[in-house]
Structures are given as structure tokens and as C-alpha cells.
């Protein structure tokens, strides 16, 4: 077999509470910002699909976990819904949520599927967002309480914990680029949110250590490798700044225990530095994780700025670089993003050389296709494009592992077609197809290929 992976390798998929469970009425769940935004700002969501129309995991979880077992998953990553477990964000725990998550975890373990549990996947409880969300330091304490509650309730069985999925996104998409609620456009507020998320991460790790549980804790990063248009110094500077703002600002804090000095210098120069206390710096420096998740979908190609930014405009990282549209790039036209499998190798090497070769796994990677029903033959989606996408990325991952990268697993996004932020069901990602009218879930050709891959520990 040409591409052999260890027998201990984790194979599976990833999902999130809001995107899979959705908003269920009458079970004690509190609203989160997506429940609210998909109703009150419905025009921002593809075909107006709200969180009430998700992939029905909350109702179907026993059958869904059986379907995971049917294609030989040995692991699955999802999140706990903060507003389901603690409807007011702090205080009383919802007993129906405890029952649901206990049964979900127990069922996974009974079927040989290791639960990888993430605590926060963009889903701030609405009552806490009304207090400012992660702009407000009180919410750091609320998150710490929530994390400790999860560890105490489920930590006897869950051995792999993650504090946040893509910590950059709530700050960047919610407070700078107007994609996620609360739809703010203000860099300094975005920087404050990101700093407080990092502090919340640190507090959760600290709580986990204090409980002395037998498991590992980490965080899941959205890493977009940066490539300059050329080796011209101006293009190299553009790439350096893009990487500084969108990768090193988080990665260095989490994995090196400190913010990059250059980032601090730039933010001071432009009067964008958020409040950072001495105790914050000490907490960040003292916090170490065990395991890193990496979400990879696309590269970022940049070039030197062609126009001077408007000094009266909102400060943004894009003041320092422009997007470079590389001739001949290969595109997923459904998403409008470049497909670049070698990026996963480059990320692996960066972790190996710059971040002490920490244990990590691919926590998300996948391809979303619009109009996938056009590929249905004899009742099954013939998604050969997804199989080829997986093969290409796994070949590069295999190469990085052969060169010493400590990658422990691969999770595709996602198990079954799910509701996506803003795009709803426009693009389909799953190993199983979801019929939106009937709720029926049927395996795609890629799901059967993935089953064979897992059972053979590799592919030709």
C-alpha cells in the first residue's frame, strides 16, 4: 500500500453543536447568537434557513452514531452547546442537556468511537452577548465556570478536550469584517475580543489541570498558510504582515506563551492596542496545551499594497497587503476558494519547525459542493471529486509524517451535510447526504471509500 498510516491513527469527522443539533424548543435550551441572528437578520442567511433547520443530530444521535460506526469511524469531534447546558450562560445546569450529552458520549464509546469534545464553536449564549460577549471580562469568568462544569460532568469519559474552535473567527468575523453577529466593524474591539478569548482558553486549561483528569486538552486553530506573489521585498513584507495578524497573533500566544513583539509595535503605532494587564501576560506564559487541532481549507496568497489605505477608514490588517489572484490557480467554484493540497504539508512543517513539533491532528478539511444532487446515481451521490480531494491532502499529510511531523489523526468536515454559517445548505460537505425534505441520511461514495481507507489503514 502506497500511503500507510499508523493503526493508532484517529479517523473520523468534525461537526459543531449549533450546526448539527440546532435550536430545539421546549428542552430548556437557551438561545445563542446564531439562533437569534438567523431569525432577526434572516436576510444574511442563504435561502433564509435558520438554526431550527439543521441536520437533526439532537433527535437522531443514536442512529447517526450508528452510521459513523457503519463507515468505521474511530473518533468524532463535536462541541457542547454552552446555551443548551447552561441556558443563562451562568448558574443552573439544564438536566436534559446533561442527559443528552451523557448518552451521546456513552453511545460513541460503546461503538468504539473516541469523543473529541470542543467547548466553544462560535455559539455565545445570547444573554452573555447582551453583556458584551467576549468584550466583557465577566464573560471570561462565565466561560471558565462553563468549562469546569463540562470537565466535571463528562471528563471521566472524554479524554480529548478543546477549548475553542478557530478563536480568530469570533473576533475577526464578528467585530471587524461584518460576517457574524454582532456585525461590528472596529479593529480595537476585535483585538479585545481575541485577547479575552485567549485568556478564557488559558483559564479553561488551568481548571482542567486542577481537576487532575486523565486526558489531554488543546485548542483548534484555523490556519491559512500565507504565500507571497514573489520574492520581492514588498511582497515578502505583505506576507509577513498577513501571517502576523491572522496566524501568529493567536499561535504564538497559545504555543509560545507570548504575543509577537512586532504585532505589539504595530498596534501601538496605530493606536489599536487593547488593554493587556500584567496578570494576562503571566497567565498566557504559564499555559501549555497537550494537543493542537488544525483546520485547513485554503491558502492565502498576498501581494504588496497597490493603493495607500484611507487614513480615515477602519484600521484593518488589510492595510498591509492585497489579495493576490494567482494565474492558473485551481478553484472550488462553489465556495470561491482555492484548492491547494500542499498547504497541509506546509502547515505540518511549520508546526514541526516553529512550534516544537507538538502533537496535532487535522481537525477539519473538506470540500463543499453546490448542487451535489446532480451527482446522484442509483440513489447515491457519486462524489469522486471528494475522494480525489481527500487523497491529495492525505498524500501530503503522509509525506509530512514520514518527515517527522507528529500528526495523530484526520477529521473531515463533516459527517453529514450540515447547516453552515450564512451559507446554510448551499454547499454540501458530508460523508452522508441529508435530504432536507424527509430528513433521510444516505451514505455517499466517499463515505464508503473512507470506510475502506480506515479498515486498511491507508490507500494506494
Give the C-alpha separation, 80 to 432, whole Å: 22
Give the C-alpha separation, 250 to 333, whole Å: 29
The model's pLDDT over 148-186, given as tens digits with 9 standing for 90+, comes to: 999 999 999 999 999 999 999 999 999 999 999 999 999
pTM: 0.97
φ, ψ of residue 20 in degrees (nearest 5):
-110, -50
Q: Is 135 exposed, middle or buried (0-12, 13-18, 19+ CB in 10 A)?
A: buried
> Among 194, 189, 200, 296, which Cα is nearest to 248's?
194
Active site residues: 166, 364
> Among 404, 452, 458, which Cα is nearest to 72's?
452
Dihedral sign (CA 180, 186, 189, 193): positive
**432 φ/ψ sector (left φ>0, alpha ψ -120 to 50, else beta):** beta
* In the predicted structure, residue 264 carries a pLDDT above the cut 80: yes
Question: Any idea which residue has 472550488 for its cell?
Answer: 332
What residue segments make up the domains of the chain, in order of their start? 3-459
Q: Which of 69-78, 119-128, 413-422 has the lowest mean pLDDT?
A: 413-422
- The model's confidence at residue 24, banded by pLDDT at 50, 70 and 90, is low
Segment holding 322, helix H or strand E: strand 322-323
Tally Cβ neighbours within 10 Å of residue 207. Answer: 18
> If you ran DSSP here, which 8-state letter would residue 119 be given?
S
Tally Cβ neighbours within 10 Å of residue 75. Answer: 23
Give the C-alpha separation, 134 to 155, whole Å: 25
Find residue 370's DSSP bridge partners. Answer: 427
Give the C-alpha separation, 89 to 82, whole Å: 7
φ, ψ of residue 229 in degrees (nearest 5):
-60, -40
Print burial letters for 261-298: b (CB count within 10 Å at least 16), e (below 16).
Answer: eebeebbeeeeebbebeeebeebbeebebebbbbbbbb
Q: Report the alpha-carbon angle 59-64-66, nearest 5.
A: 130
- Decide if 124 contacts 32 (C-beta within 8 A): yes
Q: Which long-range contacts (CB under 8 A, 24 or more apart) does 174-180 make?
A: 174/133, 175/135, 176/314, 176/316, 179/421, 179/422, 180/33, 180/37, 180/122, 180/421
C-alpha 358: how far from chain center:
18
* pLDDT given for residue 50 in this prediction: 83
The model's pLDDT over 192-216, given as tens digits with 9 standing for 90+, comes to: 999 999 999 999 999 999 999 999 9
Question: Across all residues in the chain, what is the average pLDDT?
Answer: 96
The model's pLDDT over 57-105, given as tens digits with 9 standing for 90+, comes to: 999 999 999 999 999 999 999 999 999 999 999 999 999 999 999 999 9
- The model's confidence at residue 25, banded by pLDDT at 50, 70 and 90, is low
* In the predicted structure, residue 406 carries a pLDDT above the cut 80: yes
Instruction: Provide the percentage of residues in the chain whose pLDDT is more than 70.
Output: 99
* pLDDT given for residue 48 in this prediction: 85
- Decide if 150 contacts 140 (C-beta within 8 A): no
- The model's confidence at residue 223, banded by pLDDT at 50, 70 and 90, is confident
Tell which CATH classification among 3.40.50.300, 2.60.40.10, 3.10.580.10, 3.20.20.80 matches the domain 3-459.
3.20.20.80
Q: Report the alpha-carbon angle 350-351-354, nearest 5.
A: 70
φ, ψ of residue 147 in degrees (nearest 5):
-60, -45
Segment holding 443, helix H or strand E: strand 441-443
Amino acid at each position: 500500500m502506497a500511503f500507510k498510516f499508523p493503526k493508532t491513527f484517529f479517523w473520523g469527522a468534525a461537526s459543531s453543536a449549533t450546526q448539527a443539533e440546532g435550536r430545539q424548543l421546549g428542552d430548556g435550551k437557551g438561545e445563542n447568537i446564531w439562533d437569534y441572528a438567523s431569525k432577526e437578520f434572516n436576510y444574511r442567511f442563504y435561502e433564509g434557513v435558520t438554526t431550527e433547520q439543521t441536520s437533526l443530530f439532537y433527535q437522531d444521535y443514536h442512529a447517526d452514531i450508528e452510521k459513523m460506526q457503519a463507515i468505521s469511524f474511530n473518533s468524532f469531534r463535536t462541541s457542547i452547546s454552552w446555551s443548551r447546558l447552561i441556558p443563562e450562560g451562568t448558574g443552573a445546569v439544564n438536566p436534559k442537556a446533561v442527559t443528552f450529552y451523557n448518552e451521546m458520549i456513552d453511545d460513541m464509546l460503546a461503538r468504539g468511537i473516541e469523543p473529541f469534545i470542543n467547548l466553544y464553536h462560535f455559539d455565545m449564549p445570547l444573554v452573555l452577548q447582551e453583556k458584551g460577549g467576549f468584550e466583557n471580562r465577566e464573560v471570561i469568568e462565565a466561560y471558565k465556570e462553563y468549562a469546569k462544569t463540562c470537565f466535571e460532568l463528562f471528563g471521566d469519559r472524554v479524554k480529548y478536550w478543546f477549548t475553542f474552535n478557530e478563536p480568530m473567527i469570533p473576533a475577526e468575523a464578528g467585530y471587524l469584517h461584518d460576517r457574524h453577529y454582532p456585525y461590528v466593524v472596529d479593529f480595537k474591539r476585535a483585538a479585545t475580543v481575541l485577547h479575552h478569548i485567549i485568556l478564557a482558553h488559558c483559564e479553561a486549561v488551568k481548571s482542567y489541570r486542577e481537576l487532575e483528569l486523565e486526558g489531554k486538552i488543546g485548542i483548534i486553530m484555523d490556519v491559512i498558510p500565507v504565500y507571497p506573489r514573489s520574492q520581492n521585498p514588498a511582497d515578502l513584507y505583505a506576507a509577513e504582515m498577513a501571517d502576523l495578524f491572522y496566524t501568529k497573533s493567536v499561535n504564538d500566544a497559545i504555543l509560545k506563551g507570548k504575543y509577537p513583539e512586532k504585532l505589539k509595535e504595530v498596534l501601538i503605532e496605530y493606536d489599536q492596542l487593547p488593554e493587556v494587564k500584567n496578570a494576562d501576560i503571566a497567565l498566557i506564559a504559564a499555559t501549555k496545551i497537550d494537543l493542537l487541532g488544525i483546520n485547513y481549507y485554503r491558502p492565502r496568497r498576498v501581494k504588496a499594497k497597490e493603493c495607500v489605505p484611507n487614513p480615515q477608514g477602519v484600521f484593518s490588517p488589510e492595510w498591509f497587503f492585497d489579495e493576490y489572484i494567482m494565474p492558473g490557480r485551481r478553484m472550488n467554484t462553489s465556495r470561491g476558494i482555492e484548492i491547494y493540497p500542499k498547504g497541509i504539508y506546509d502547515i505540518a512543517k511549520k508546526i514541526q519547525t516553529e512550534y516544537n513539533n507538538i502533537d496535532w491532528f487535522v481537525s477539519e478539511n473538506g470540500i463543499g459542493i453546490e448542487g451535489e444532487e446532480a451527482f446522484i446515481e442509483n440513489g447515491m451521490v457519486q462524489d469522486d471529486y471528494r475522494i480525489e480531494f481527500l487523497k491529495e491532502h492525505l498524500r501530503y499529510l503522509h509525506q509530512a509524517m514520514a518527515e517527522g511531523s507528529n500528526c495523530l489523526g484526520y477529521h473531515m468536515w463533516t459527517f453529514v451535510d450540515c447547516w453552515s454559517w450564512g451559507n446554510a445548505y448551499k454547499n454540501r460537505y458530508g460523508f452522508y447526504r441529508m435530504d432536507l425534505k424527509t430528513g433521510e441520511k444516505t451514505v455517499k461514495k466517499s463515505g464508503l471509500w473512507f470506510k475502506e481507507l480506515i479498515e486498511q489503514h491507508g490507500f494506494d
